[in-house]
Amino acid sequence: MIRQTVLIAFCLVVLPAAGNGAGTLAQVAATADLRAPHRVTVERWLVSKPMLRLATEKDCLNVEGLSASRAEYGQSYQPYYAIGDFNHDGQPDFAVALVNKQKSSRKFAMAIFNGPFNQRGTISPALFSKGMDLSGGGLVVQSGGRLVAGVFQSDDCVVLRPRGRTYLMKSCL
């Protein structure tokens, strides 16, 4: 009986990750790489957004750019998850890229959540921007906690600057 329980738990973690990200179990598997408070925040926020799922490395079509970014930022670099003090309040914030499963082009969205995070409250992102194309890039935290989203190793990107409780998107060019 113990053996069956272990096998079932193993399947809940592995099988959904191999799919296209649809469904609650897949969303839990996709959030496994997030830090615990970030995972809880995203999972709660996504409950009412069934058309969205977290972007994964498989959504990145720019393999060479991802490889170059990992050479620069470290092998643990995740293209669609970034942590930093983006709004300069002394609290860690985080950003995630998402995919709208109902769209075939410009299907990416980005959400930035300002810290601190707790297990009790439901939190809304400080910025939610949709209709983006991050298939050739991702999210990068530069010096000073500056968050950049766009194509790897290029000027085809946006800088996200804090403005009050939200963020302003400015072209990198």
pLDDT, one tens digit per residue, over 127-160 is: 999 999 999 999 999 988 899 999 877 778 999 9
Domain extent at residue 66 = 51-171
Statement: residue 125 has pLDDT above 60 = yes
What would the DSSP string read from start to end of 52-85?
EEE--GGG---HHHHHHHHHHH-TT--TTEEEE-
Structural domain includes residue 121: yes
Q: What total number of domains does the chain contain? A: 1
Instruction: Judge whether 80 lies within some domain.
Output: yes
41-59 per-position pLDDT tens digit:
999 999 999 999 999 999 9
Q: Which residue has the higher pLDDT, 116 or 32?
A: 116
- Asked if residue 89 is part of any domain, the answer here is yes
Nearest to 126 by CA among 113, 141, 108: 113
Residue at 25 is within a domain: no
Which of 41, 55, 22 has the alpha carbon at shortest distance from 119?
A: 41
Instruction: Tell the burial category of 37 from Cβ atoms under 10 Å away from its Cβ (0-12, 13-18, 19+).
Output: middle
Residue 34 lies in a domain: no
Residue 117 belongs to some domain of the structure: yes
Q: Mean per-residue pLDDT for 74-102?
A: 94
Does the residue 30 lie in any domain? no
Per this entry, what is the length of the chain? 173
C-alpha to C-alpha distance for 166 and 151, rounded to whole angstroms: 23
For the stretch 91-101, pLDDT in tens is 999 999 999 99
Give the per-residue pLDDT at 97: 97
What is the pLDDT at residue 120? Answer: 63
Phi, psi of 130 (to 5 degrees): -120, 175
- pLDDT band with cut points at 50, 70 and 90 for residue 121: low
Q: In DSSP terms, which residues pair with 101 in a beta bridge?
A: none
Q: Looking at the domain assignment, is residue 132 inside a domain?
A: yes
Q: What is the pLDDT of residue 26?
A: 45
Average pLDDT of every residue of the chain: 81
